[in-house]
């Protein structure tokens, strides 16, 4: 079984509910064992031309699925929930594979670990709840080390699921 960390985000509609629905659908779709979901974090938009703030969380699962098969299932859930994959638009749901064990992979469809983890406070804060000591297989730094070393001008605040 592989240990996989998945970033979940939304900035359209009821973002917390969108993330919870995606997490539930992951269980229903046979992703494997869902081990935990971080608290949600509100953050200013990054890379999207919108006024709508995001809600982000990180989940951890154990799966027997290969990375590519897992990605196909993640994209299917995004589509089912109404994700428009056009660049720069609001997102009802965004699912990103952050880590798949310690696999380093670069294909046209999938890059692991997810590029930019170390630069995104909205990923590092929820990831630190679940895996503060996880070592980035390329950078050799723990989640906590990357979080402490990140100076961000963007606001990220822990929130609640309701």
Q: What is the C-alpha separation between 161 and 124, in angstroms, rounded?
A: 19
The CATH number of residue 64's host domain is 3.30.70.560
Where residue 77 falls among pLDDT bands split at 50, 70, 90? very high
pLDDT at 31 > cutoff 90: yes
Residue 93 has pLDDT above 80, yes or no: yes
d(CA 80, CA 154): 30
Q: What is the pLDDT of residue 155?
A: 82
β-partners of residue 138 are none
Determine the pLDDT at residue 89: 76
> In which element (H, E) is residue 75 found?
helix 67-80
Within 10 Å of residue 159's Cβ, how many Cβ atoms?
Answer: 14
Please answer whether residues 13 and 92 qualify as being in contact, where contact means their C-beta atoms are separated by less than 8 angstroms.
Answer: yes
What is the count of structural domains for the chain?
A: 1
Closest CA to 139 of 157, 125, 124: 124
Nearest to 107 by CA among 55, 56, 66: 66
DSSP-derived secondary structure letter, 36: E
Question: Is the Cβ–Cβ distance between 36 and 130 less than 8 Å?
Answer: yes
Instruction: Return the biggest CA–CA distance within the chain.
Output: 40
Closest to 99 measured CA to CA, from 110, 84, 108:
110
Task: Give the residue numbers spanning the domain of 39.
Answer: 2-158
139 CA to centre of own chain: 19
Per residue in 117-161, pLDDT tens?
999 999 999 999 999 999 999 999 999 999 998 877 678 899 999
46 pLDDT above the threshold of 90: no
């Amino acid at each position: 079984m592989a240990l996989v960390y998945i970033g979940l985000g939304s900035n359209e509609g009821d973002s917390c509910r969108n993330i919870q629905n995606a997490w539930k659908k992951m269980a229903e779709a046979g992703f494997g064992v869902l081990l935990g979901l971080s608290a949600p974090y509100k953050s200013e938009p990054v890379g999207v031309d919108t006024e709508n703030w995001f809600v982000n969380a990180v989940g951890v699962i154990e799966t027997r699925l290969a990375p590519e098969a897992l990605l196909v299932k993640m994209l299917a859930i995004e589509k089912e929930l109404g994700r428009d994959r056009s660049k720069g638009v609001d997102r009802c749901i965004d699912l990103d594979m952050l880590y798949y064990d310690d696999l380093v992979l670069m294909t046209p469809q999938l890059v692991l670990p997810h590029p930019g983890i170390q630069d995104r406070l909205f990923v590092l804060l929820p990831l630190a709840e679940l895996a503060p000591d996880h070592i980035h297989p390329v950078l050799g730094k723990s989640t906590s080390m990357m979080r402490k070393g990140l100076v961000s001008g963007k606001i990220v605040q822990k929130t609640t699921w309701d």
